[in-house]
Amino acid sequence: MKYYSARFRFAAMLCIWSMIFVTGCGVNKSQNEITDSVIDTKDSETSDKTADASTTQGTDFGIGQEESLITDEATLQIVLNMVENSADQTVLEYVDFTTEEFLAEAAAVYKTAHDNGYVYGDSQTMPPCEDGFISCDRLIARTLWNLGMTDQPAKGMDVGCEVSYLTTHGFEIVTDQSQLSAGDVVMQDNGVSGGPNWKWHTFILVSYDPETTMCEKYDCGHFTPEGKERISSEQPFVCPLADYGSQRRFVCGFHLKQKPEGS
């Protein structure tokens, strides 16, 4: 009887260890979900809702390696194919506003969200953000709406259709990170190969230094790496272009095209 009990206990232990091993193998497959959970936890624990995200300037985020900042070729090719497929559907060859007007309107949309206590989330209204929700792509959608681009998809332009929308509405794609400049819209992936999805990120550049990869931007995404709400921060703010390291890899930028004088 004692021999049977020992074998039983041994089998039970093997079963438990097997379950632990199988569970652990799935960790890497859901790393982004884990990251999102950690960020959400930071949100619930953060009491300073008015912290200034501009304090990120000069902070060491443990990045700077070239591979953290450049997307993989497969993902970039998907984006380039989207641009090529929309090339014969051009709606606007040039925009009807300047870089300065674009940035001024982005500042106004951010200020409205900041001063009126908008909540992070995907707006469901047209014009975008009328319901008090704003996110990284909806900031850009509302900015464009206010500048006359009202032919956006239902609920406003989002990161999933950003490539096709911007490249058919007077923006040209920029694939060289060092060529980014003021007024450019930046798209970043989440460190996983594939096409645009809701985990990607986008924002509007106010300035960019290719030597240090530091940028100044308007960004109504969820949180800074320190867990501070971007909406309640003072903007524009300064941080590394890839402020979440490899989870914020550069995919491309979009540079607005103005009609040449005299044409």
Q: What is the 3-state secondary structure (H, E, C) of the chain?
A: CHHHHHHHHHHHHHHHHHHHHHHHHCCHHHHHHHHHHHHHHHHHHCCCCCCCHHHHCCCCCCCCCHHHHECCHHHHHHHHHHHHHCHHHCCECCECCCHHHHHHHHHHHHHHHHHCCCEECCCCCCCCCCCCEECHHHHHHHHHHHCCCCCCCCCCCCCCCHHHHHHCECEEEECCHHHCCCCCEEEEECCCCCCCCCCCEEEEEEEEECCCCEEEEECCCCECCCCCECCCCCCCEEEECCCCHHHCEEEEEEEECECCCCC
158 belongs to a structural domain: yes
Alpha-carbon span 100 to 210, nearest angstrom: 21
11 belongs to a structural domain: no
* Residue 100 in tokens: 């300065």
Q: How much is the average pLDDT of 235-252?
A: 93
- The distance of Cα 254 from the centroid of its chain, to the nearest Å, equals 14
Q: Is the pLDDT score of 88 beyond 90?
A: no
Q: In one letter, which amino acid is 194?
A: G
24 belongs to a structural domain: no
Are the CB atoms for 138 and 220 separated by under 8 Å? Answer: yes
108 belongs to a structural domain: yes
Alpha-carbon span 97 to 186, nearest angstrom: 18
Strand partners, 215: 208, 239
* Residue 6 in tokens: 């020992």
Per-residue pLDDT tens over the stretch 146-192: 999 999 999 899 999 999 999 999 999 999 999 999 999 999 999 99
The confidence band for 227, taking pLDDT boundaries of 50, 70 and 90, is confident
Entry pTM = 0.74
186 belongs to a structural domain: yes
Domain count within the chain: 1
252 belongs to a structural domain: yes
- The distance of Cα 180 from the centroid of its chain, to the nearest Å, equals 16
pLDDT of 187 reads 97
248 belongs to a structural domain: yes
Q: Is the pLDDT score of 27 beyond 60?
A: no
34 belongs to a structural domain: no
Pairing of strands 119-120, 133-134: parallel
Alpha-carbon span 242 to 52, nearest angstrom: 19
Q: What domain range is 224 assigned to? A: 68-256
pLDDT of 135 reads 96
